[in-house]
Amino acid sequence: MTRIVALSGGVGGAKLALGLSRVVARHELMVVANTADDFEHLGLHISPDLDTVMYTLSGKSNQEMGWGREGESWAFLESLEEVGGETWFRLGDRDLAIHVERTQHLRAGESLSAVTRHLCDRLGADIDLVPMTDDAVRTIVETAGGDLAFQHYFVRDRCEPEVSGFRFEGIDAATASPGFLEALASDDLEAVVVCPSNPFVSVDPILALAGVREALKQAAAPVVAVSPIVAGLALKGPAAKMMRELDIPATALAVAGHYAARGLVDGFVVDETDRTLAPEVEKLGVQVLVAQTVMESLADRESLAGEVVAFASQIRADR
């Protein structure tokens, strides 16, 4: 019985998802991960955001690197480099096995949802993690130098090209994954949490799926987003750089506006350092929570998660 649905990209989203998994019962939380930055590489289907959430929620994420798996080793990649293979995407030996196994299951005709459930079970990520869709959606980053597949932009080119826009190939033909839409329609739902992930390339693909915006608007539960921009900076990733390049102010207010313009959020969480922006966000018709959103410790994750759930509860009560 899902009480909370969290929409997540990679690292930042996974942090809050971990917090949420500790303040509600595990079976009450569904994490829906972006799959528009999935890609085919070396013949393998790689799902970076799904894996980041899965590794984080199973306690297998690499705390030092901030991505990938704990206790990771790199013999495969060293050997691949030796024979002139493509090594720009850093595939660790342990991580690689997940991609090989996923690809095998997909080739055998299983859905990405089913494979994700299998992998989570095996890895001990005791969580209801679902891909946003079982269909292929691929983010294309439009830049001055031409179109780039997302991972080429993000990893190979280190987010250096100047961004002029985004599009999500395959989005029109894609269907939201069955578990996701079902959870949104449930009477038990208490909150939809938009994690502090990149609004353009992590959250927008999820929102762009047919039926998702309508389901969010119809959901009994409020939608609460946590700003990924704090004091004009993205804590992780290129969100702030993208905003500057798109002539959007790199502020939490602009992120709130990005969601509110489409009537998608009921509540918005800004960091304490952005307290002065709260009245401006409220003018968008969105309730505001000011909180400590920078999650360094596990306690930070739990604390923010608890505040976000309480905030949603308050919005529900106010209705």
Judged by the rule CB under 8 A, the positions of this chain that interact with its own copies are 42-44, 69, 72-73, 75-80, 82-85, 92-98, 100-101, 103-104, 107, 118-119, 122-123
- Give the nearer residue to its own copies in terms of CB position, either 68 or 237: 68
Q: Are 135 and 175 in contact (CB under 8 A)?
A: yes
Please state the closest distance from residue 86 (CB atom) to its own copies, in A. 8
Please state the closest distance from residue 195 (CB atom) to its own copies, in A. 25
Please state the closest distance from residue 70 (CB atom) to its own copies, in A. 12
- Give the nearer residue to its own copies in terms of CB position, either 83 or 317: 83
DSSP secondary structure code for residue 154 in this structure: I
- The string of DSSP codes covering 244-300 is HHTT---SHHHHHHHHHTTT--SEEEEEGGGGGGHHHHHTTT-EEEEE-----SHHH
Distance CA 311, CA 168 (A): 32
Please state the closest distance from residue 250 (CB atom) to its own copies, in A. 38
- Give the nearer residue to its own copies in terms of CB position, either 117 or 138: 117
- Give the nearer residue to its own copies in terms of CB position, either 103 or 113: 103
Please state the closest distance from residue 54 (CB atom) to its own copies, in A. 10
Going by their DSSP bridges, the two strands 138-143 and 163-169 should be labelled as antiparallel
- Give the nearer residue to its own copies in terms of CB position, either 15 or 117: 117
Q: Are 224 and 269 in contact (CB under 8 A)?
A: yes
- Give the nearer residue to its own copies in terms of CB position, either 80 or 210: 80
150: phi then psi, degrees, rounded to nearest 5: -55, -50
DSSP secondary structure code for residue 202 in this structure: I
Distance CA 242, CA 261 (A): 19
Please state the closest distance from residue 114 (CB atom) to its own copies, in A. 13
How far from 2 is each of 29, 36, 184, 259, CA to CA, in Å? 6, 24, 9, 23
